[in-house]
């Protein structure tokens, strides 16, 4: 089977590594890929936003299946365009991807399906938003409705801060994504990333993870795309996972199917484990990055089989096997990340670090130049390990970090610790 993987970050490196292990895979292409992915796939410079070019490439290589990593092409409808061209693709349609593309859409769907989530109000102008904010007690959560590269959410400690955040949205800080704002109550508890897969009708739980979003140790500093992850999430007991499926994920899939826009793909539920049980914070419509890296370390089933079962509407008959062990990934980022990453420094001895520490190093933001490997993005490497216990997995990952010869790299030293 010939597969095209869309994306070029740490998540896609983990997907490429896992897809490559499938006996059914004959050829793997990645667009655009990266130097790490290039060990498992042929990298092609295709713009995923240009669906015409993607379709032409698929036809020229007789691609059997397209797997889409990031959210933007999904929200833009790449899966719809491929479907119209008769090319099978894994990921939701644009209509179903609104779960990630519009926070207001998801809140309305949750209200309709009686899914536990924070009380909210959608607002389209500053006057309504101001009144809505003043009617609530801080902390108040202010969200740009659309995709804002993880930057559209403010947890405001005061009314003034909340109003300023809303004003920034309406004045174009997030472009079109901020034309509408969602104001919601703050949920206290422990946050968990919970993953499931659906073929539109059946939905199967996959696994849980914890993402470390803040830059610094002890959850200090600015928000990032994620500085590390562990799986399973310590807070996610089997009972809570069962409740999340019954009260949140299952009803979401049912509601989308009833609306005539069935969800096929990965559902990534951001959950808050509150005193009253799991509540939905938000949905993403793809694997998390760096959560995918730890999930792929623990997935024992053939990823290609799992994805095909979803695409071919036969998840009902599938069993997804997971290792009982723990996995951890430590992100090494460029100095200055997240605001102004300084790129271009050289990274050495990755293969030696992988072998000596027994880790898998996924490339997130690297490029090769004249036989050298250079940092090319904010998040650069994801040093990933499995272990019998979480502390064994994190100890191994940190041994790998210590062996990577990249003095410029910054990382958190507390992944896997704490709550
Ligand atoms: P999002 O972009 O929706 O994932 O929001 C970013 C982060 O803000 C989430 O991962 C949570 O940590 C936090 N957050 C969002 N909504 C809420 C809420 N209603 N209560 C508490 N924290 C929230
Ligand atoms: N790690 C957060 C995300 O993928 O959205």
Ligand 1: centre distance to CA 88 (Å): 33
132 lines ligand 2 (CB under 6 A): no
From 284, 292, 362, 382, give the residue whose CB has the most ligand 2 atoms within 8 Å, as the site to mutate.
284
270 lines ligand 1 (CB under 6 A): yes
Over 60: is that where the pLDDT of 188 sits?
yes
pLDDT at 111: 96
Percent of the chain residues past pLDDT 90, beyond the cut = 90
Taking residues 248-260, what's their average pLDDT? 97
Place of tokens 């520490």: 357
Q: Which residues touch 93 (CB under 8 Å, ≥6 apart)?
A: 77, 79, 80, 83, 261, 264
Exposed / middle / buried, residue 160 (Cβ in 10 Å: 0-12, 13-18, 19+): exposed
203 lines ligand 1 (CB under 6 A): no
Over 60: is that where the pLDDT of 419 sits?
no
10 lines ligand 2 (CB under 6 A): no
Over 70: is that where the pLDDT of 303 sits?
yes
71 lines ligand 2 (CB under 6 A): no
Mean pLDDT, all residues of the chain: 95
- Ligand number with the minimum distance to the CA of 284: 2
Q: Strand pairing partners for 7? A: 32
Higher per-residue pLDDT: 257 or 145 = 257
DSSP 8-state symbol, 145 = S
The ligand 1 atom nearest the CA atom of 284 = 4
Rounded (to 5) percent helix, strand, coil in the chain: 35, 30, 35
From 11, 208, 211, give the residue whose CB has the most ligand 2 atoms within 8 Å, as the site to mutate.
211
The ligand 2 atom nearest the CA atom of 286 = 4
- Ligand number with the minimum distance to the CA of 288: 2
226 lines ligand 2 (CB under 6 A): yes
The answer to whether 138 and 156 have CB atoms below 8 angstroms apart is: yes
What does the alpha-carbon distance between residue 271 and residue 312 come to, in Å, rounded to a whole number?
A: 29
Exposed / middle / buried, residue 192 (Cβ in 10 Å: 0-12, 13-18, 19+): buried
What does the alpha-carbon distance between residue 293 and residue 287 come to, in Å, rounded to a whole number?
A: 9
The ligand 1 atom nearest the CA atom of 213 = 10
* DSSP string of 73-117, one letter each residue: HHHHTHHHHHHHTT--EES--HHHHHHHH-HHHHHHHHHHTT--B
C-alpha R_g of the chain: 21
pLDDT per residue over 100-115, tens digit each?
989 999 999 999 999 9
pLDDT per residue over 345-380, tens digit each?
999 999 999 999 999 999 999 999 999 999 999 999
Ligand 2: centre distance to CA 61 (Å): 31
Residue nearest to atom 5 of ligand 2 (CA): 288
Ligand 1: centre distance to CA 153 (Å): 7
Q: Please report how the helices 94-101 and 103-112 are oriented relative to each other, as an axis angle in degrees rounded to 10.
A: 100
From 15, 97, 223, 226, give the residue whose CB has the most ligand 2 atoms within 8 Å, as the site to mutate.
226
Residue nearest to atom 16 of ligand 1 (CA): 281
Residue nearest to atom 4 of ligand 2 (CA): 288
Handedness of CA 366, 417, 237, 213 (dihedral sign): negative
Over 80: is that where the pLDDT of 36 sits?
yes
Element spanning 395, H or E:
helix 390-403
Of 351, 123, 358, 113, nearest to 249 by C-alpha is 113
The ligand 1 atom nearest the CA atom of 187 = 20
383 lines ligand 1 (CB under 6 A): no
Confidence of residue 180 (pLDDT cuts 50, 70, 90): confident
Residue nearest to atom 5 of ligand 1 (CA): 153
Ligand 2: centre distance to CA 85 (Å): 30
- Ligand number with the minimum distance to the CA of 379: 2
| Preceding amide of 139 cis, omega within 30 | yes
Instruction: List phi, psi (to 5°) of 28.
Output: -125, 125
Predicted model pTM: 0.95
Confidence of residue 175 (pLDDT cuts 50, 70, 90): confident
Ligand 2: centre distance to CA 288 (Å): 4
pLDDT per residue over 57-94, tens digit each?
999 999 999 999 999 999 999 999 999 999 999 999 99
The ligand 2 atom nearest the CA atom of 150 = 5
Place of tokens 């946050």: 191
Over 90: is that where the pLDDT of 228 sits?
yes
289 lines ligand 2 (CB under 6 A): yes
Ligand 2: centre distance to CA 283 (Å): 10
């Amino acid at each position: 089977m010939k597969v095209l993987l869309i994306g070029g970050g740490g998540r896609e490196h983990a997907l490429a590594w896992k897809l490559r292990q499938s006996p059914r895979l004959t050829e793997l292409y990645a667009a655009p890929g990266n130097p790490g992915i290039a060990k498992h796939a042929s990298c092609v410079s295709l713009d995923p936003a240009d669906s015409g070019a993607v379709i032409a490439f698929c036809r020229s290589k007789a691609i059997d299946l397209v797997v889409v990593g990031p959210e933007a092409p999904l929200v833009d409808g790449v899966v719809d365009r491929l479907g119209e061209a008769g090319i099978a693709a894994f990921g939701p349609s644009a209509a179903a991807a609104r779960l990630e593309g519009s926070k207001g859409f998801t809140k309305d769907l949750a209200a309709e399906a009686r899914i536990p989530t924070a009380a909210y109000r959608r607002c389209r102008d500053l006057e309504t938003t101001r009144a809505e904010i003043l009617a609530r007690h801080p902390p108040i959560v202010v969200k740009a409705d659309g995709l804002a590269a993880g930057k559209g959410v403010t947890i405001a400690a005061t009314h003034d801060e909340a109003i300023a955040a809303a004003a920034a949205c309406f004045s174009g800080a997030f472009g079109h994504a901020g034309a509408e704002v969602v104001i919601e109550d703050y949920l206290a508890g422990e946050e968990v990333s919970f993953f499931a897969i659906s073929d539109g009708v059946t939905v199967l739980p996959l696994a849980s993870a914890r993402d470390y979003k803040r830059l610094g140790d002890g959850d200090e500093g600015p928000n990032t795309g994620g500085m590390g992850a562990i799986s399973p999430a310590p807070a996610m007991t089997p009972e809570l996972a069962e409740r999340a499926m019954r009260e949140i994920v299952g009803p979401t899939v049912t509601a989308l199917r009833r609306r005539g826009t069935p969800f096929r793909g990965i559902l990534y539920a951001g959950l808050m484990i509150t005193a009253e049980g799991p509540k939905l914070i938000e949905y993403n419509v793809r694997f998390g990055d760096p959560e995918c890296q730890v999930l792929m370390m623990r997935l024992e089933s053939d990823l290609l089989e799992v994805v095909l079962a979803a695409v071919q509407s036969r998840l009902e008959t599938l069993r997804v096997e997971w290792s009982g062990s723990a996995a951890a990934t430590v992100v090494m980022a460029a100095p200055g990340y997240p605001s102004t990453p300084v790129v271009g420094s050289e990274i050495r001895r990755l293969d030696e670090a992988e072998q000596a520490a027994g880790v898998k190093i996924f490339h997130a933001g690297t490029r090769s130049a004249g036989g050298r490997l250079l940092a090319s993005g904010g998040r650069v490497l994801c040093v990933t390990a499995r272990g019998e216990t979480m502390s064994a997995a994190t100890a191994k990952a940190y041994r790998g970090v210590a062996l990577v010869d990249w003095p410029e790299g910054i990382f958190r030293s507390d992944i896997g610790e704490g709550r």
